[in-house]
Amino acid sequence: MLDEDGVATQPTLWQVSPTPMLEAFHDAIWYILQYCGSAIEAAELLSWRTLLQLPLRAAVAGVHGSARRGEELELLLRLALRVPTWMRVRQLEEQYAEYMHFRPALDRLSALCVGVYNDGCETRQDETFVRLLDGAAVAELVVVAKCEGATELLRVARVRDLRQLLLLLCAGAGRGKRVDGGEQDANAHRCNDGDGEAVGDNPVRAGIHGATAGRRSTGDVRRLSTALPLRKEDIIRRILDMDCAAALFSATWDAVVGPVCRVHEHLKKSVCRVAELLHVLASPCGTGGVFSVLGRSYPPRPLSAALSLLAPKLLLWQTARVSCVPTPPWWHTNGVASEEPSSRASAPLCLFTSPESLASYMGALELHQALLEATAGKMRRGGGLHFAMASHTAVEDSLTRLQQQQSLRRKREHPESTASEPEPSNGSVPSGKRGSSEAGAVTVELLLQQGGLLYEHLLPFLPKYAWFACAELLVLLLQFNKEYALANQWLQTLLGEPVHVVASACGSVKFPFYYRSQKRGKWCHRVAQNLVLLGDRMTALEMLERQQQNWRQQSSRTPECVCVEDAKRLPVGLQRRARLLSAVFPSPKGSRGGENKVAVYNAINEYHRRHFCRRFDRIAIERTLASLHRLLRRWTPFPASHMSFTNHLLAAKEVTIHAARDTMDPTLWSDPSHSMTACRVEKHVLRWFGAGRSSRSGWVGLHCEGRWFACLARLLLWDAYVFDPTPQRCREAEQETVAGVSDYIWLSPLQDDPFDLIAAAAFCHRRRRLIEARLEFFEACPREIIIEYVRRRCRSRETPTKGTGPVREGKQAREELQLETESDASLWSMDEEEKGGDGMVLPGQPMPPQGEQLEETLPAFFACDDACALHMVDVGELPLLSLLRAIPQRPLCALLRCMFLSPPEEGHTVCFAGFPDLVLWRETPLSLLETDFKLVEVKSPHDALSDKQLAAIDALCRCGFDVSVARIVESSQAVNEAGPCGAHTSSSDRVQDAALRNVQLVL
């Protein structure tokens, strides 16, 4: 269900394979059966078998063989993933005729019967894979039978075609009445002459002939066209209310719309289900989406679009798979299957234990998609409150149903147990359903019972987690519709109710898992805001004071999550909690005596998650706390501890820019004298920084917010992002913690990110030694080494794909890929591209190595193998290499260290929201020691810095970046007082003077 002018029909996809969607569909089913096979219903499996057998049946039953094997299934998959039920054949032929034999494949699909038992239920013998209707069949359904699906069938036509159809039908009906009233003799005379059918006898042909000749066919056409409805639904209703002949409607439909087709209903649902399950494997519910690209968000798309969007990635890994090894097809690009995955866990992972749990999860995923569309503004037009209340009821009923199912399962499996925890799903299962224990699979619940927070990244595969993700989006809709009490009810549920609980054998010791614990500060602040809106300010003040005291009591001496070697150094409360958790988590095999490392690991991480608060959430809480204190306790001195975090924030210097709004569009700005074209405020600030300066010392700017740092973090710490912590790789990289290794972080090559990235603390501490080693190297190496490292691992979207295979092979492929990357204009700015990427060497810097000398000095992790080529980072249009020539090296490494290696109590997350809008750099350095680099946050009049921006600016300033806040001031008063030129140049001169003073200090 993707726009066909997007990823699904890009030319490079057809160059890789003549049937790309077919091969992606095969691979998708492989992964789905690997991880969700025990939860798939038998009827669904039969439908998938019918689809997979389609190429073979078409080759056997077809009289004319297909030019390309599998073209029928390729076309069927593309039609099934489309949004509308009925589709116009003419439109499809325009899109697919260049890439496949469209009409022969469609004819074979419309002639081939599905079968008697295609999806577990008996079907009619005449049901085909695709139903193809011409004008006569459409007239039979719309005019004669007037079936219920007539409205949906007519909706396939465009509004323009429907208006023309209605116009010709009205003209033909009027002419038919005149013929019946007294023109029979004229018709008989024409027939006796033997001239055949005249143009006047066919009103449709007459109307079309008149339209082509540039004149109207009859005098009634123009008069009728003025009375036609404008809305599509009104036109359809008008057509259905008409009483016209079937032959007239058939001829008119063939002339205006043409044949239409639709995919078999059950097969369409089966294909969409494959795409939805593929979306679950690539991005579980509540963790983001497969449709976002490195800091860039897109409007919500249907879940079925996952198969179309992930098809290039599936084809990228295409090669011969080893069928004898029950492991995912992790492919190399040289045609040889990889042997690495065979060393993974011995037992397969079963994400869903029963069809009921999978059905509940998919229901939550569907509601989550609808809530995403509602929050994006697509459903506010009609009944926003009604949809919010219906979603509230659905989430509430589903959570109650899940609780009842868990209680029944515990009673059935352990009748003597009175504990309230969910038991591992390795007991008896109902007859007729293959349980995970019978197949020797490992379930998510079992892993959580064994390792606790070591497998926190698998929580998004629990149905309750998916429904909690729906509740999080539901809060936004309830607040928008001013249902603050109901919103607070769900916020309290997110804060206090766990999504999963593991317990000891006797049930006395429990360990809860909470939904997205890093957002607890945000939800506490929202609860307080809703209480204020409900009029209960005192309760809001007391709640925020308790939270502030709770965070303030956190001990800064608490060891980090990975430091569990010496449990005796922990605070007494944590030692006691670790001893209690020893009854929940079993000791690792081979450990005799001493403390339980898994229990210690979970105790420390539980403490950090309970007291963790993001930096911008603390700013928001302290600001609201101060506001409530002024209202309720105005005569009481404000405690300094309530602003302990905000008072220590570093502020950026401010630059005042005078500008004038455009008279036609208030969102556009220009200089006070209106000598420049009006533009967006960010572009105006970029233009202002470049005005009045020579090309040698002027600024080069870009509006990209935090995307530049997101790309650099992903590239410089590339090894950490693609790291798969299997036992062997952990021992090689010295990344194994004492508590053990977290497996199942990478389930398939469909993932852009590891699953544990949703928990920033777990992601960073699991790769701490690796990140430290990379940052130590980048802090000491020359700048050219960093540029070379980034160059080898980034690509632009315009990078061409050459060759017949999906990925080129060997040294030649890497050389071609490097040449493509170097020649890509998006990596360098225009000036740098003209210079060929050669940068000047400043005094005191070592000469950068060149050619073979460079290769000899590079460390081992610089090597670019096939896996590196497949995991290259798409930077789009960002001139990243030019930025790297100007970014100060030490502040960059300090910012990476701050974001990825800071203690949890500092509140840093692997999130780059709130970064300044503009990035400015000088291509020619102003000083002899370093190039100039500046970050500018743009603020329009009456606009203030947000909490995320305050936190980001504080972190950037502490790391040594030059950050400014450009405040736009309307020039109406400034022009009257000082004139436009004086008002414009005063701030510019002050900035330039400050820069010159800095140069003098440096020299």
Query: What is the CATH classification number for the domain harbouring 700?
Result: 3.40.1350.10
Average pLDDT over residues 776-787: 91
Q: Which helix (H) or strand (E) holds 966?
A: strand 963-970
Q: Measured between alpha carbons, how far is 289 from 208 in angstroms, rounded to an integer?
A: 48
- 212, 235, 258 — which closes off a domain? 258
- The letter for the amino acid at 10 is Q
Question: Does residue 1000 contact residue 929 with C-beta atoms inside 8 Å?
Answer: no
Q: Which residues of 929-942 are buried (b: 16+ CB within 10 A; e: fewer)?
A: eebbbbbbbbbbee
pLDDT of residue 615: 92
Domain assignment present for residue 352? The answer is no
Residue 727 has a pLDDT of 56
Compute the distance between CA of residue 1003 and CA of residue 997 in angstroms, rounded to an integer: 10
pLDDT-based confidence at residue 416 (cuts at 50, 70, 90): low
The torsion region of residue 689 among left (phi > 0), alpha (psi -120 to 50) and beta comes to: alpha
Helix, strand, coil percentages for the chain (3-state, nearest 5): 55, 5, 40
User: Does position 829 have pLDDT exceeding 70, yes or no?
Assistant: no
Residue type, 368: H
Regarding whether 190 and 207 lie in a shared domain, the answer is yes
Q: Distance between terminal CA atoms of the chain?
A: 62
Check: CB of residue 700 under 8 Å from CB of residue 951: no
At which of 229, 258, 287 does a domain end? 258
Q: Is the pLDDT of residue 242 over 90?
A: no
**End residue of a domain, out of 258, 283, 303:** 258
Q: What is the per-residue pLDDT for 652?
A: 92
Q: Do residues 698 and 768 share a domain?
A: no
More confident residue, 561 or 284: 284
Whether residues 165 and 241 share a domain: the answer is yes
User: Which residues, at least 6 apart from 479, have a Cβ–Cβ distance to it below 8 Å?
Assistant: 487, 526, 530
Torsion angle of the four alpha carbons 61, 63, 69, 72, in this order, in degrees rounded to the nearest 10: -70
Q: Clarify whether residues 142 and 125 are in a common domain.
A: no
Whether residues 894 and 786 share a domain: the answer is: yes
Q: Are 764 and 771 in contact (CB under 8 A)?
A: yes
- How does residue 565 score in pLDDT terms, banded at 50, 70 and 90? low
| pLDDT recorded at residue 611 | 84
Rounded Cα distance between 336 and 240, Å, is: 60
The secondary element (H helix, E strand) that includes residue 670 is strand 669-670
The SS3 assignment for 749 reads coil
CA quadruple 742, 747, 749, 754: dihedral sign: negative
Between CA 95 and CA 464 the distance in angstroms is 42
Name the H helices within 633-766: 681-690, 707-716, 718-721, 727-733, 760-766
- The token pair at 947 is 């909490």
- Provide the CB-side half-sphere exposure for 288 (13 A, CA): 21
Residue 460 placed within a domain: no
Structure confidence at residue 537 (pLDDT) = 94
What is the three-class DSSP state of 88?
Answer: strand
Interstrand relation of 260-263 and 794-795 (parallel, antiparallel or unpaired): unpaired
296 domain-assigned: yes
Residue 916 one-letter amino acid: P
Rounded Cα distance between 85 and 194, Å, is 45
Q: Mark out the alpha helices in 324-462 (DSSP H runs).
A: 355-375, 384-413, 444-451
Least confident piece of the model among 24-28, 168-172, 235-239:
168-172
Q: Are residues 779 and 689 in the same domain?
A: no
CA angle 182, 188, 190 (to 5 degrees): 115
911: left (phi over 0), alpha (psi -120 to 50) or beta: beta
Q: Which tens digit of pLDDT belongs to each residue from 370-397?
A: 898 888 765 555 468 899 999 999 999 9
638 DSSP assignment: P
- Residue 828: which pLDDT band, with cuts at 50, 70 and 90? low
Q: Is residue 451 part of a domain?
A: no
Q: Is the pLDDT of residue 271 over 90?
A: yes
Same domain? For 195 and 60 the reply is no
H-only helix segments in 553-614: 572-581, 597-611
189-193, 736-740, 916-920, range with the lowest pLDDT: 189-193
Residue 460 host element (H or E): none
Q: 232, 335, 263: which is closest to 80 by C-alpha?
A: 263
Query: Rg (Cα) of the chain, in Å, rounded?
Result: 33
- Rounded Cα distance between 381 and 63, Å, is 52
Of the candidates 898, 914, 916, the residue with the CA atom closest to the CA atom of residue 616 = 914
Q: Per-residue pLDDT tens for 206-235? A: 444 444 344 444 444 444 445 778 888 999
- Please state whether beta strands 500-503 and 510-513 pair in parallel, antiparallel, or not at all (unpaired): antiparallel
pLDDT band of residue 754 (cuts 50, 70, 90) is confident
Residues 860 and 920 in one domain: no
Give the pLDDT of residue 288: 61
Q: Retrieve residue 470's tokens.
A: 């729906």
751 shares a domain with 813: yes
The chain-wide mean pLDDT, for the chain, equals: 76
Q: Which domain holds residue 734?
A: 707-910
Compute φ and ψ for 248, nearest 5 degrees. -65, -45
Closest CA to 659 of 643, 645, 676, 642: 676
702 lies in the same domain as 713: no
The widest CA-to-CA distance across the chain, in whole angstroms, is 113
User: What is the rounded average pLDDT of the residues 595-600?
Assistant: 85
- Provide the b/e sequence for 583-592 (b: ≥16 CB within 10 Å): bbbeeeeeee
Angular region, 239: left φ>0, alpha ψ -120 to 50, beta rest: alpha
The residue among 721, 728, 761 whose CA lies nearest residue 743 is 728
Determine contact, residues 762/561, Cβ cutoff 8 Å: yes
- Say which residue the tokens 């606009």 belong to: 943
Do 25 and 116 sit in the same domain of this protein? yes
CA pair distance 53, 75, nearest whole angstrom:
14
Instruction: Give the DSSP H/E element, type plus range, for residue 20.
Output: helix 20-36
C-alpha to C-alpha distance for 999 and 1003, rounded to whole angstroms? 6
pLDDT digits (tens, 9 = 90+) for 634-662: 888 888 888 888 999 999 999 999 999 98
Tokens describing residue 912:
């780059």
Q: Is the pLDDT of residue 907 over 50?
A: yes
Which letter does DSSP use for residue 140 in this model?
A: I
607 burial level (CB within 10 Å; 0-12, 13-18, 19+)? buried
**What is the C-alpha to C-alpha distance for residues 239 and 257, in angstroms, rounded to an integer?**
14
Q: How far apart, in whole angstroms, are the C-alpha atoms of residue 963 and residue 948? A: 15
Compute how many other C-beta atoms are within 10 angstroms of the C-beta atom of residue 762.
23
Are 688 and 272 spatial neighbours (Cβ–Cβ below 8 Å)?
Answer: no
Please check the confidence at residue 180 and state whether its pLDDT lies above 80: no
State the residue for tokens 């590891």: 754
* Amino acid code (one letter) for 591: S
Residue 847 inside a domain? The answer is: yes
What letter represents residue 420's amino acid?
A: S
Summarize the confidence of residues 434-463 as an average pLDDT: 81
Residue 22 lies in a domain: yes
In a domain, residue 957? The reply is yes
d(C-alpha 399, C-alpha 515), whole Å: 14
Q: Is residue 972 part of a domain?
A: yes
Output the pLDDT for position 311: 78
Assess whether 794 and 808 both reside in one domain: yes
For 343-359, what is the mean pLDDT?
78
- Total structural domains in the chain? 4
Least confidently predicted of 72-81, 322-331, 338-347, 785-794:
322-331
According to DSSP, residue 331 is labeled B
Q: Under 8 Å CB-to-CB from 939, ≥6 apart: which residues?
A: 945, 965, 966, 967, 968
d(CA 948, CA 914): 5
